[in-house]
Structure formats: structure tokens, C-alpha cells
Amino acid sequence: MFELKKYTVFIVTLLLGVLLTVVSISLYYWQAIDSARGRWQQSQEQLLYQFQTQLLLTQSDLHLIQAAFIAQNQLSPEQFSQLQLQSQARQISAGVLAMGFVRPVSADFLSQYIEQNRSDTRFATEFYSVFDVASSQQKEALQIVDMLSPLNSTTAQWLGFNLAHDAALKRAFERAKVSGQPWMSDGFTASLVRTESLVFYLPIYRTVLSRPTPALRSSHYLGSAMVLLQIQPFFAELNRLADSAGLAFRVVDLGAIDAVNRAETASKIRYTSPQFASDASAPMARAPVNVLGRQWRFEFQAITSALSMRQMQLMACGAILGLVFSLLLASLLQRRHRLPAVDDNVDKPSLHLTQVQQMRALLEAVSDPLILRDARGQITYANAVAELRLAEHDRCLLGAVEPVFDAAELGRLSMPLQLMVSHLDRDAQVRQYELMLKPLRDDRLQWMGTVMQARDISASSATIKSLREQVERLNMLVDIANDWFWEQDQEGRFTAVSGDLFTDLDLNPALFIGKCRWELGPGGLSAAQWAAHRAVLASQQAYRDFEYQAELNQQLLFLSVSGQPIFDHNGQFMAYRGVGRNVTAIRLAQAALLSEQQRAQATLASISDAVVSTDLNGRIYYLNSVASALLGWDPEMAQGQYLSSVYQTIDAKTRLPLAGLAALALQNSAQCLGARRSILLNKLGLHFYIEESAARIRDDAHATLGAVLVFRDMSHWQDEADRVCVFPD
């Protein structure tokens, strides 16, 4: 006992040092654990959002097909393929195998329907020439896959497939047809696909139904849009995101949302991450997600430790440093405060006071605000940092019973609690704090108070917010990206190409590797244009929207590329890197529009009647040569003039001015006005006996675009009763 009392200061100081080290490491440990849980929670929400977004993008593909068929009921396979290329659906939605159109065909018309598809040689002859439908004994209408895009050796197996053969496909198909809404089928594995797949349906009607009824839907039913989605590639994309976040997941298909179909289908696991351990503890399950008529449940598991190797190393270093510091401090205090002999007078209260002072000195060394409360919630200790930042100007924290940050400080805690709060400090600065509340217990494990450490995370919070915004911006840019990418070496030869352009056209990217752009074909450009492009490459300059033609997979494509030179840290030119866009649909549409305009102008120029067209304000924007001759105005001078200042007519009998028919057509609701006989007074003072008529010009939505005026010279065809001398000499 005597020897033990001699080393009381050493033992007490060492125990306090160890206790402080354990508390600090425990606070850091719980902070790291909660931070990891927060990251996992955020990653789970991002994965669920990505899952819903991808399925909703697939739904938008269905609505695109529906809108196209409502606008034009009879789309050809070539037009359907162009529609898919414009939508770029497979570049946005991972796992989408193809988009298609399902047409109802009666059993009596089946042979004629097959022959009709085989005889159509305008598009994809190698696939449609062998078009066939499996024999069926059912008398009801067959649901045949009529068109697909992209159409290649894999997807062509679906042409002519009767969806009514498969019970799961037929059940989802009928559900979509009855509800008029997009619907998802139960998963299935057929000989046509190698992996388990899903099929999305959307019924299409010949027109937009304002108040649809089952009978009205049935009478206007045209077919259904469909999207084929392979489950394995679809969830593999989500698995890459989950793996980067340290998570594994399992997706359970709970079946159809409505009670009838749910009774027909049982819950089934659709996808399981390779790292997901089925024999582990219960996974973290999320609330079910309802998408396109089905219900899904995600179950997550953490595949990485909550503490990184760096954090564990920091905890080990902290423990070692805390123990070493405690030993050194205990040895120093023991040397300076040796206990006297047993028969000496020892001032025990002063010894106790010295220990309290040592504890306070250790707590004051903590750089974060530290507050202790007793069982009544009264503050019994607050270090200098807490008083400096958190105390009010006219009072200190010691003895206060009000919460400093949150009401949870006054609660009876059974477990440590972590909170994130904002606080207006004494210096009028708003700071972000991470609170760690931990219960204090006596030797009998009875709760006796609470210790609170407030860590200032203002700087890290702003950094995390900025990084989160950057990640969201990057995700948005990636979601809307629809270009193919390429890289070239210093000599302009392709070293890498990627993008869905090669998948859509069934191209082998290796055909590009090692070749220059001009070695793949003339590109529809002259030698001078290629020379100018090579000069830009030789000068190592960036370029945008360089357009050329390429014949790939027996298709003439219009490609637009943009490139940026890449330099190393020494400024040495390394390579070119850039993106490309398929602008074939745009160029073909422009060519068709130009051809149509030229054909219309040639038709108007060749007729014998005078034609003048105006905009909504009555200004002339076109007149043919006959109208120019009768009016005495050059077309260039007349364009942009008000029709009333160029075209003037009077009544043949009363000689009074007549109201313009074009203006009346724009003002009145009547679509066409005329014909009316009158006398035309032209710019040169000549007059003609004419017959005139006018009509509105409308677009496909019946909106008025302008008016057209048509008149002809009737001077040599007027009746004897109408022959008058308009202006006698």
C-alpha cells in the first residue's frame, strides 16, 4: 500500500491520459463511421435515382414512337429507323437492345401480311426478304413485331415474333392496352435473347383521344410501341456506380403494382452484384420503388470497411502518441510531486486540487469546443474555446441549463449521438459544427451526465457542397451526351474510337485504327478542302464542326467532327482528341426541304395565272412572273411591300375601289374567297379586266400563316354585256 501511494500521481496522470486518448479516438472513430454511413446513404439514393431515370428515359422513347405514329399512321421501316437514330435512345439508356412497333394481325390475313413484308425491298432487304411468323392455332389477332431499330443480325430475330406466345409478355401487353398507359412485362428468358430481358409497351391510337373508353380505344387501336431492355447490361451499369461507392446490391422484382397481376407473379431476384454475399447479415433494404407498373426493392451491402487504411493508421498513431505523451507527462509530474514519508504531514486536499488542475489543463488543450453537463443538464465545465465562441457577451456558459446548439444536449443519452448544426457564434460568424454527444457513466454504469465536442467543419462543408455541385453538373453532362469519341496520334491516325455509333451501324471500330480520316474515303470533299483541313492539323489548332461524308455499312452518312490538340506538361504536341456527331438525318431533311421548295417555285412559275402570297401582316413575300408582268412591279421591288400599295382593283360598273380579297381572307374565318371579276390598275397606268380569288394559308395545326391571291387576265374573254370602256380617251 505504501509503495502504491508513492506513485499515485503517476498512476492518476497515466489513467487520465489514457482516458483522454480513448475518448479522442472514440470520437474520431464514431465520426468516421457516421461519415461512411452518410456516404453509403447518399450513394444508395443516387443509385435509386439513376434506376428511375433510366426507366423514365425508356418511357420517353415509347412516347416518341407513339407521337410519330399519331402524326403519321403508316410509318415505313426506313422512317422508323431514322426516328430511332434521331432520338439516340440507345446512347442514353443502358441495356436497351432495340425499339420496335407491334402490329395486330388477324390469323386470316397472316399469309398476305407475310408476303407483303417480303415483297417490300425498299429497306433492309436482307432481313425483310425472309420475314416469317411462327404458325399459330389461335383465332384471335396476333401481336406481331412489325418493325425494329436498330436492325442487325441480333435484333432481326425478333421480326415476326408473336408476343401472344409468351404468357408474361401477353399479360403485360394486354394490361397496357386496357389502361392506355406504358407497362412493363415480367422478366423472361427466350431463345431470341441470351440474357433475361424486360419488354416495355405503350399502346398507340390513330388519334389523340380526349375521353377514352374501352370501346373507343379498341376502335382506334393501331398497335403498340415496344422497347427491349436486357436486364444484365442495364443493372451492370448501376453495379459500376455501386462498386465505386463501396456497395453491393440485389434487386428484387415484387411484381405488378395492381393486385390482380401481383397474384399472378411472385417476387423474384432480378439482379445480384457479384460481391453481394447472400449468407451475410441482413442487408440494408430500401423502400419499394414503383416504376412503369412494377414494384422493385433494392437491398444493399457494404463491401468495403467503414474505415479506410489511412484512418486506421491515424487512429493507431493517435493511440501510440497519446500513450507516449501520457507516460512522459506522468513521469514528469511524479518527479516534481513526490509523496513524503508516512509520518510526514500530507495535505490531501491540496493533492486532490492539483489533480483537478491537471485535468483542466489537459481539457483546455483540446482545440474544439468541449462542454460537460451533469445529470440535471447544467453545464459544469466549458473549455476556453467554447467560452470564446459560444458564450453570450454578458454571461458565461458555466452553470447554464439552456441548450447551446440543440435540445438533444439535455436528453438522457444511452448511445453516442452525432449531429450537424449551424450556429451564430459570438463573433457574429455563422459556422457549421459537427456535434458528438456521448453519455458519461460512473463505476456502476449509471448515467451521470453528457460530454459534447463541437467540431468546426465550415471549410470542409463548403468544399463538400462545391464537390457535390460539380458531380451533379458532370452527371448531367454525361446524361445528355450523345456524341462518339475519337483520338488521333501526331500524324492524324486514329488510335481509339468509341460510342454507340458503331453499335447502331454494326461497325467494327478496328476498321478506323491506324488510318487517317481522308484514307477512309473522299468524304464528298474536294482536294482543296482536304488540304485546308490538313493545314489546320499541321498547325496544331483546334477545329469545330468539320463535316464530311462516309460510306459505312452500305449507308452514306454525314459526319460532323470537332477536335482539340493535346499537349504534355512541356508544351509538346501529343495527339488530337475530339467528338463526332451523326448529322445524316439533318442533312437529308434539309435536302428534301430544298428540293420541295424548288419544285413548288417551279410549279408556280410555270402556271399561266398570276400568284401573289403574303404574310399575316399583308406584306408580299412571293409573286410569280405573270403577276409581276400584270402589276408592273419587279419581284425584288415588290417583296416586302404591302399588297394594298401594289395591287389595286375597282368595280367594273361603279368605278369604285374594291376591298382586297387577301385582306378579307385574313380577317374573316372563311378559308377561301372568290371568284370575283374586277378591273386591275397597275403601276404603269394600264388596266386589265381580271378574275380574282383569295384564300388563307394554314399549317398542319390549322394556324394561319398568310394569304394567297390568284388572278388572271380576262380582257379577251369578257362577255359583250361586260365590255365597257374603262377610261375613254
677 and 656, same structural domain?
yes
Q: How confident is the model at residue 489 (pLDDT cuts 50, 70, 90)?
A: very high
Give the pLDDT confidence score for residue 337 in this predicted structure.
Answer: 67
Q: Is 727 part of a structural domain of the chain? A: no
- CB atoms closer than 10 angstroms to residue 350: 8
Amino acid identity at 400: A
Q: Is 602 part of a structural domain of the chain? A: no
Q: Is 22 part of a structural domain of the chain? A: yes
How far is the C-alpha of 120 from the C-alpha of 109, rounded, in Å? Answer: 17
How far is the C-alpha of 463 from the C-alpha of 461, rounded, in Å? Answer: 5
205 and 296, same structural domain?
yes
376 and 239, same structural domain?
no
The H-assigned helical ranges of 365-457 are 384-390
209 and 163, same structural domain?
yes
383 and 346, same structural domain?
no
263 and 244, same structural domain?
yes
**Tens digit of each residue's pLDDT (9 = 90 or more) over 215-235:** 888 888 888 998 888 888 888
Pairing of strands 284-285, 247-256: unpaired
Contacts of 619 (CB under 8 A, 6+ apart): 640, 641, 642, 643
Domain-terminating residue out of 419, 450, 475: 475
- Report CA 475 to chain centroid distance, whole Å: 8
88 and 3, same structural domain?
yes
- CB atoms closer than 10 angstroms to residue 246: 18
Q: How confident is the model at residue 389 (pLDDT cuts 50, 70, 90)?
A: confident
**Tens digit of each residue's pLDDT (9 = 90 or more) over 34-71:** 888 888 888 888 888 888 888 888 888 888 888 888 88
User: Whole-angstrom distance between the N-terminal and C-terminal Cα of the chain?
Assistant: 150
pTM exceeds 0.95: no
93 and 154, same structural domain?
yes
Give the pLDDT confidence score for residue 498 in this predicted structure.
Answer: 85
Amino acid identity at 599: R
HEC states along 650-676? ECCCCCCECCCHHHHHHHCCCCEEEEE
Residues 635, 661 contacting (CB under 8 angstroms)? no
Q: Is 433 part of a structural domain of the chain? A: yes
Tally of structural domains, the chain: 4
Domain-terminating residue out of 417, 441, 475: 475
**Tens digit of each residue's pLDDT (9 = 90 or more) over 654-695:** 889 998 888 888 887 656 677 889 999 988 888 899 999 999
Give the pLDDT confidence score for residue 375 in this predicted structure.
Answer: 85
584 and 461, same structural domain?
no
Q: Is 464 part of a structural domain of the chain? A: yes
| Sheet-wide strand order for 417-424 | 379-382, 370-374, 447-456, 430-441, 417-424
How far is the C-alpha of 361 from the C-alpha of 605, rounded, in Å? Answer: 102
Residues 500, 90 contacting (CB under 8 angstroms)? yes
Q: Is 509 part of a structural domain of the chain? A: yes
Question: Between residues 596 and 647, which one has the greater pLDDT?
Answer: 647
Task: Read off the CATH number of the domain in which 259 is found.
Answer: 3.30.450.350
354 and 377, same structural domain?
no
Task: Read off the CATH number of the domain in which 582 is found.
Answer: 3.30.450.20
* Residue ranges making up the domain that contains 572: 484-588
202 and 84, same structural domain?
yes
What is the three-class DSSP state of 64?
helix
Domain-terminating residue out of 348, 364, 380: 364
Q: Is 595 part of a structural domain of the chain? A: no
Q: Look at the alpha carbons of 556, 557, 563, 566 in this order and tell me if their dihedral is positive or negative.
A: negative
460 and 319, same structural domain?
no
Q: Is 440 part of a structural domain of the chain? A: yes
Give the pLDDT confidence score for residue 258 in this predicted structure.
Answer: 66
Pairing of strands 247-256, 294-302: antiparallel
